[in-house]
Structure 1
């Protein structure tokens, strides 16, 4: 394994912290435990991560609290094994890993909507860290607090915070052990799957979502999206309990994102108005025989504006 990332120094800039973290996540293998705290609930997980700069990342996550479940990840798929429902969910999209979800792909793209500041030293899982504050410039998005391991650059703690500084969501590593390599059998499922129902979600092309929010949407248009947000994904997606795929649009500012689901009302679970759980907000509305639901870790006003931006052509 390549011990590629240099130690963090107190003079590091926000950009260098984020760039080092992006490099480190594909350079270091480790075993650890972390908690995910949201909406008053806390879930604990054990993680095995095998990272290689050339072949990518493989992970196995095992729940330590609540219902038993297991998550397997590689470069192409995410497989979730749920013994309680005797089901296996396979997603063939490159979904973000929980310890990496707050790392922006392009730090420069954050500047119009966020202010970044290195905010001192700390400790996570007994390891020295450097904290980065990412503060929203308006009330259309939340702020973030990120703690990076000084030795490796890996992200060890992340918090989503409200404009008042309230922690809405937290992911934090509790134990952490670097490994030269992870045994293959530790990355394979440890749960029985015989007879389990299996559902696969296939990725589709984004239908020119990058070039225009009005192309490839069939009878739909997106008008007056919240400032700083743009359409980044457009696909048809199967959902559990649905007979037909639903249209899934992703709207993002480069860090925060909102999913907008559109389906016919005859197969939808009606949601009218707003819902909240921790940092997650949702807003639903009916439109010409369809149900539109916007969901994201953004303020309630933002998901409402995204849902109301949808119109028929």
Structure 2
């Protein structure tokens, strides 16, 4: 199957593209990883997953003070993301209040590639394809092909002049598109002031900060479990403990990644209803796999844009101390 995917992409490629060396291709992706963070630009991109679609306006600026970005959801319920470096603040408008969540940033479009490509090279094969126009820009196509069944493949359209990622498509093992993110307009901008770096939300609404419990807090959860062997290529990149609205006890949230894909693991004390469940459940909705199980009085939930087998392996990697 993997050779079929590569062949489909390479059909019609120019002789120059075919002659590109492996090192040249990886250097091009390295430029793409840096460009998304080091360039200043503004545009609108569209996210398409199944029948759902949403448009996002992005403003990104790199100054002598660091990297700043604001994403504004243009459809549906107002939602904004402001990031400074790796720190991310999410503003969600819910009824008569605005819920503010603090997160450590993951790789978000167009910065989907990490600056260190070592893990990507270990888990994906890289191929080059044709040139196309995206958002009125000339782009070179690359395919990051999964080396196994533990992750999806990615098709990337890279700006031929600046290296900025213009479009990203997620492909399952059957070479079917399960998610597409693409600019429909984008332009570089001059570095200037940061007056734009603030949320555009109704100031009359109440602001509610989502609570985060320090990982050293005496919650009774932190030392109750450990993680055994993870799926090949994945490692823990973040961990936090949060109080979630409607729950009396904190929820542990752990994030794993192979450099491209991110998977969230949630561990929390099971309630009476979930304790009665003795069977693990799995589901796939669009590009996201879900896995849930109850063991030793705890509910384990895994969510991520990965194949079902990966979500299940991560869920089954949790062992509870006796």
TM-score, normalised by the number of residues in structure 2: 0.82
Cα distance change of structure 1 residues 243 and 152 upon mapping to structure 2, 3 Å threshold? farther
Any idea what the Cα deviations from partners look like across 1:243-271, whole Å, max 9, x if unmatched? Answer: 33211222222322321110011299789
Match of 2:177?
167
Instruction: State the Cα deviation string for residues 152-179 of structure 1 (Å, max 9, x = none).
Output: 1111111110011111111110101211
Deviations 1:59-90, CA, capped at 9 Å, x for gaps:
22222222222222222532322334322323
Note the C-alpha offset of 1:287.
0.8
**Structure 2 match to 1:120:** 130
CA distance in structure 2 between the aligned counterparts of 1:287 and 1:153, rounded to whole angstroms: 47
1:299 aligns with 2:304: no
Please identify, of 150-159 and 252-261, the stretch whose mean Cα deviation from structure 2 is larger: 252-261
- Are the counterparts in 1 of residues 87 and 103 from structure 2 also a CA contact under 8 Å? yes
Residues 276-300 of structure 1, C-alpha deviations (whole Å, 9 max, x = no match)? 2221111000011110001111001
Q: CA deviation at 1:229?
A: 2.4
Residue 98 of structure 2: aligned partner: 87
Return the offset for 1:183.
4.7
State the shift of 1:19 in Å: 1.4
Q: Distance in 2 between matches of 1:163 and 1:171?
A: 19
Of 244, 248, 251, the match for 2:253? 248
Match of 1:275 in 2: 283
2:46 to 28, 35, 48: 35
Gaps of 5+ in 2: 1-15
2:227 paired residue among 180, 203, 222: 222
In the alignment, is the contact (CA less than 8 A) between 1:70 and 1:80 conserved in 2?
A: yes
Q: 1:186 to 1:231 in 2, by over 3 A?
A: closer
- Distance in structure 2 (CA, Å) of the matches to 1:243 and 1:96: 31
CA contact (8 A) 2:47 2:182 kept: yes
Q: SS in structure 1 opposite 2:38? A: coil
Q: Aligned to 1:196, which of 201, 206, 211?
A: 206
CA distance in structure 2 between the aligned counterparts of 1:268 and 1:202, rounded to whole angstroms: 26
| 1:230 Cα deviation from its structure 2 partner | 2.9
Matched residue pairs, number? 294
> CA–CA distance in 2 between the matches of 1:234 and 1:254?
16
CA distance, structure 1, for counterparts of residue 109 and residue 242 of structure 2: 22
Per the alignment, residue 3 of structure 1 pairs with: none
2:213–2:243 contact (8 Å) kept in structure 1 = no
Q: What are the within-5 Å matches in structure 2 for residues 96-175 of structure 1?
A: 96-100=107-111, 102-175=112-185
Task: With the length of structure 1 as denominator, give the TM-score of the two structures.
Answer: 0.84
User: 1:231 pairs with 219, 236, 245, which one?
Assistant: 236
| Max Rg structure | 2
Give the Cα separation in 2 of the matches to 1:205 and 1:148.
39
Counterparts of 1:90 and 1:192, CA distance in 2 = 17
Report if the CA contact (8 A) 1:92-1:202 is conserved.
no
- 1:247–1:263 CA contact under 8 A, matched in 2: yes
Confirm whether residue 260 of structure 1 aligns to residue 270 of structure 2. Answer: no
More helix by share: 2
